[in-house]
Amino acid sequence: MPKKTCQLVIESGNDYVIAVKDNQPKLHRHIQRIAANGLPRSRYIETEKTKNRLTTRTVEVFDDLNGIDLSWAGIKDLIRVQRTGTRGGQPYHEVVCYISSLIHSAREFACGIRGHWSIENRLHWIKDVVMKEDDSKIRMGNAPANLSVLRAIAINILRRNGHPSITISQRFLSNDIDKLLALVE
């Protein structure tokens, strides 16, 4: 997210928590350096076990902003999230950095970041992977945005009618117009 967007968010009276990726290499390296050499102001560790996955999340909050470009409007905290564990018996380790205009504890940031990922997993992942939105050849005018809205409506209709798995509901409903129409009655 560009610095101008951070400025607009702050000027509108809002706050942000933004993932810092490799497209901001200087900021990303700086956060990694501070996390490697400094002590966090706050740390929160949680372990979660699901079907075939064991994940430990460590969220650390740093407030050492020395060396951060001042044009990152409103920045108050640096956050590093480390995820380690196993998926399907295979080990993994991920590190994601964030900046924020908020001053929160690591636990509060952990809850907010997890909340964002539940939106990502329940909507965007479904649209991208199950409904193959990224593979769409429709690219002109408003058509891509309109189809994205229709996909979101379809997901919401399915969920409202008690279909927790969009993939299974697609298979179940795809060739039965009566069942499809019953969803919107």
Segment 53-75 shows an average pLDDT of 91
- How many C-beta atoms surround the C-beta of residue 3 within 10 A? 15
Residue 140, helix vs strand vs coil = coil
| pLDDT digits 0-9 by tens, 119-133 | 666 676 788 778 888
How far apart CA 177 and CA 36 sit, in angstroms, is 58
Taking residues 52-64, what's their average pLDDT? 91
% of the chain at pLDDT higher than 70: 95
Q: Which residues contact 58 (CB under 8 A, 6 or more apart)?
A: 43, 44, 45, 81, 82, 84
Tell me the per-residue pLDDT of 79-97, one tens digit each, with 9 for 90 and over.
999 999 988 788 999 999 9
At 174, the pLDDT band (50, 70, 90 cuts) reads confident
